[in-house]
Structure 1
Amino acid sequence: MNKQQVLQRIIETLKVDLDVAVRAAQTAYETATHEENIAENKYDTLGLEASYLAAGQARRVEEIRQSLTLYQNLSLKPFDQVLGIRSGDLIVLESASGLEQHLFLGPDAAGLKVTVEGTLVTVITSRAPLGQTLLGKFDGDELDINVNRSQQSFQITHVL
């Protein structure tokens, strides 16, 4: 597995998510503007609720579209032995209990999970505490992170 494969899978996943979101937004819009949903009295709120849903769906479409654009324009560079981890790097962490976690430090779409060659890769950003902690780190560095009010230790075992 390499960074380019992960980036390509992220882009593919975002395209599918965008398609689903666009269809959901269109359905919500059609529901909100349908003549049968015009309020007949002050308690008839179906049209209003549908319009709130349509607005939320439209925002979601725009968020995914922005994420997709960021990833399509992302220029991947080899791991820099001087600067350490930065956006666009693929990182493997190992917990104190020996569990491995594959992370892609990206510009957006935090929490997105993709599978590449049978391995689950989670997208994180530098806005998250873990992403901030990883910036500038190197292979072999150890991290102590507070997760759900408990201290967890990880070692960076590989960076691409």
Structure 2
Amino acid sequence: MNKQTVLQAIIDTLKVDLDVAQRAAQTAYETATHEENIAENKYDTLGLEASYLAAGQARRVEEIRQALLAYQKLELTPFDEKRGIQIGDLVTLQTATGAEQRLFLGPDAAGLKIHLENAIITVITARAPLGQNLIGKFDADELEIIVNGGKQSFEVTRIV
């Protein structure tokens, strides 16, 4: 599995997500501005609620648009043995129990999951605790993070 394939899958997924979000935002806007949703009294809040939903959908559209732009501009480089893990690297981690986790360290869209070659790749950013700990690490390095008060340990087993 190579980084370019993962990057393209992220871009394709974000395009689909953007299309869905744009349609949802348009529907919410139409609902908020429809004449049947004009308040008839102070307890009639359907129009107000629809406008809040439309505003939230519009923010979501912009977030996805910004993430898509960041990935379209991302220039992938081979793993640098001197600098360690950086944005744009595909990393495989192994837990103490032997479970593997594949991560793509990206500029945005944290939590996005990509299904490729019978594997799930989770997008993380350097803003997340795990992402912060990965920056500068090398193959066979170990790292620990605290999640919900519990310590989790990982070993870097592969970097692409």
- For Structure 1 versus Structure 2, the TM-score category normalised by the shorter chain is over 0.9
Tell me the equivalent position of 1:60: 60
Tell me the equivalent position of 1:40: 40
Deviation at 1:150, TM superposition (A): 1.1
Structure 2: gaps (5+ residues): none
Q: Distance in 2 between matches of 1:101 and 1:32?
A: 43
Equivalent residue of 1:132, what SS? helix
Q: Distance in 2 between matches of 1:31 and 1:150?
A: 45
**What do residues 49-107 of structure 1 show as CA deviations (whole Å, max 9, x unaligned)?**
00000000000000000000000110000000000000000000000000000000000
Q: Distance in 2 between matches of 1:47 and 1:114?
A: 37
The yes-or-no answer on 1:92 pairing with 2:92 is: yes
What amino acid is the match of 1:117? E
Task: Count the aligned residue pairs.
Answer: 160
**What do residues 28-66 of structure 1 show as CA deviations (whole Å, max 9, x unaligned)?**
000000000001111110000000000000000000000
Identity of matched residues, %: 73
Q: Distance in 2 between matches of 1:72 and 1:46?
A: 39
Q: Distance in 2 between matches of 1:118 and 1:20?
A: 25
| Runs of 4+ deviating beyond 6 Å | none
Deviation at 1:145, TM superposition (A): 1.4
Structure 1: gaps (5+ residues): none
Tell me the equivalent position of 1:131: 131
TM-score, structure 1 length as denominator?
0.99
Alignment of 1:111-130 (within 5 A): 111-130=111-130
Q: Distance in 2 between matches of 1:76 and 1:127?
A: 19
Alignment of 1:1-160 (within 5 A): 1-160=1-160
What amino acid is the match of 1:113? K
What amino acid is the match of 1:40? E
Q: Distance in 1 between matches of 2:75 and 2:44?
A: 51
Q: Distance in 1 between matches of 2:153 and 2:49?
A: 46
What amino acid is the match of 1:138? F
TM-score, structure 2 length as denominator?
0.99
Root mean square deviation, CA, Å: 0.5
What amino acid is the match of 2:94? E
Q: Distance in 2 between matches of 1:38 and 1:146?
A: 49
